[in-house]
Amino acid sequence: MAVPPESAASAAANGGEAAIPKQRTSRDHVVIRFAGDSGDGMQLAGMQFTTESALAGNDIATLPDFPAEIRAPAGTLAGVSGFQLNFSSNEVFTAGDEPEVLVAMNPAALKANIGDLAPNAIIIIDKEAFTDSNLKRAGYQTNPVVDGSLDKFQVFQIDVTRLTTLALHDLGLNNRAVFRCRNLFVLGMVSWLYQRPIDSTLAWLERRFAKAPDLLEANRRALKAGYNFGETTEMFASSYVVEPARIKPGRYRNITGNSATALGFVAAAVKAGRPLFLGSYPITPASDVLHELSTFKNFPVYTFQAEDEIAGVASAVGAAFGGAIAITTTSGPGMNLKAEAVGLAVKVELPLIITDIQRAGPSTGMPTKPEQADLLMAMYGRHGESPVPIIAAATPSDCFECAYEAVRIAVKYMTPVFLMTDGQLANGAEPWLLPDLDKLPPIKVEFAKDPKGFMPFAREEETLSRPWAVPGTPGLEHRIGGLSSENLTGNVSYSPANNELMVRTRARKIAGIAREIPPVEVFGDQDGGELVVLGWGSTFGSIREAVKQARAKKQSVSHIHLRYLNPLPGDLGDKLRRFRKVMVAEMNLGQLLKMVRADYLIDAFGCNKVQGRPFKVSEITNRINRALEG
Where on the chain is the footprint of other proteins (CB under 8 A)? Answer: 51, 54-55, 57, 200, 244, 247-254, 263, 266-267, 270, 275, 277, 279, 296-302, 304, 306-308, 310-311, 314-324, 326, 340-341, 343-344, 348, 434-435, 437, 470-483, 491-492
Question: Of 30 and 263, which has the nearer Cβ to other proteins?
Answer: 263
Min dist. Cβ of residue 261 to other proteins (A): 13
Question: Of 304 and 564, which has the nearer Cβ to other proteins?
Answer: 304
CA quadruple 234, 192, 160, 237: dihedral, nearest 10:
-20
Cα 411 to Cα 138, 403, 597, distances in angstroms: 53, 13, 31
Min dist. Cβ of residue 196 to other proteins (A): 13
Both ends of the chain: CA-CA distance in Å?
29
With beta carbons less than 8 A apart as the criterion, state whether 433 and 260 touch.
Answer: no
For residue 60, give the H/E element and its range: strand 59-65
With beta carbons less than 8 A apart as the criterion, state whether 325 and 293 touch.
Answer: no
Q: Which of 313, 352, 360 is nearest to 333 (CA)?
A: 360
Count CB atoms within 10 A of the CB of residue 580: 13
Question: Of 216 and 247, which has the nearer Cβ to other proteins?
Answer: 247
Question: Of 447 and 553, which has the nearer Cβ to other proteins?
Answer: 447
Question: Of 236 and 296, which has the nearer Cβ to other proteins?
Answer: 296
Min dist. Cβ of residue 73 to other proteins (A): 34
Min dist. Cβ of residue 278 to other proteins (A): 10
Beta-ladder partners of 579: 529
Min dist. Cβ of residue 153 to other proteins (A): 33
Q: Which of 362, 346, 336, 360 is nearest to 281 (CA)?
A: 336
Instruction: Tally the C-alpha atoms within 13 A of residue 3's C-alpha that lie toward its C-beta.
Output: 5
Min dist. Cβ of residue 495 to other proteins (A): 15
Say if residue 497 is exposed, middle or buried (CB neighbours under 10 Å; 0-12, 13-18, 19+).
exposed
Min dist. Cβ of residue 582 to other proteins (A): 37
Beta-ladder partners of 33: 84, 102
Question: Of 38 and 261, which has the nearer Cβ to other proteins?
Answer: 261
Q: How far apart are CA 586 and CA 600, in angstroms?
A: 18
Question: Of 88 and 555, which has the nearer Cβ to other proteins?
Answer: 88
Say if residue 578 is exposed, middle or buried (CB neighbours under 10 Å; 0-12, 13-18, 19+).
middle
Question: Of 84 and 328, which has the nearer Cβ to other proteins?
Answer: 328
Min dist. Cβ of residue 379 to other proteins (A): 21
Min dist. Cβ of residue 464 to other proteins (A): 22
Question: Of 229 and 277, which has the nearer Cβ to other proteins?
Answer: 277
Q: What are the φ/ψ torsions at residue 625 (nearest 5 degrees)?
A: -60, -45
* Cβ-defined contacts of 99-102 (< 8 Å, 24+): 99/31, 99/32, 99/33, 100/1, 100/2, 100/30, 100/31, 100/32, 101/30, 101/31, 101/32, 101/33, 101/190, 102/32, 102/33, 102/35
Min dist. Cβ of residue 341 to other proteins (A): 6
For residue 303, give the H/E element and its range: strand 301-305
Question: Of 279 and 332, which has the nearer Cβ to other proteins?
Answer: 279
User: Do the strands 301-305 and 276-280 form a parallel or antiparallel pair, or are they unpaired?
Assistant: parallel
Question: Of 434 and 488, which has the nearer Cβ to other proteins?
Answer: 434
Listed in sequence order, the DSSP H helices in 492-567 are 496-511, 540-552
Question: Of 445 and 511, which has the nearer Cβ to other proteins?
Answer: 445
Q: What are the φ/ψ torsions at residue 582 (nearest 5 degrees)?
A: -120, 120
Min dist. Cβ of residue 453 to other proteins (A): 16
Q: How far apart are CA 183 and CA 394, in angstroms?
A: 31
Min dist. Cβ of residue 55 to other proteins (A): 5
Q: How far apart are CA 459 and CA 39, in angstroms?
A: 56
Min dist. Cβ of residue 397 to other proteins (A): 11
Q: How far apart are CA 569 and CA 521, in angstroms?
A: 10
Q: Which of 403, 395, 392 is nearest to 431 (CA)?
A: 395
Question: Of 307 and 599, which has the nearer Cβ to other proteins?
Answer: 307
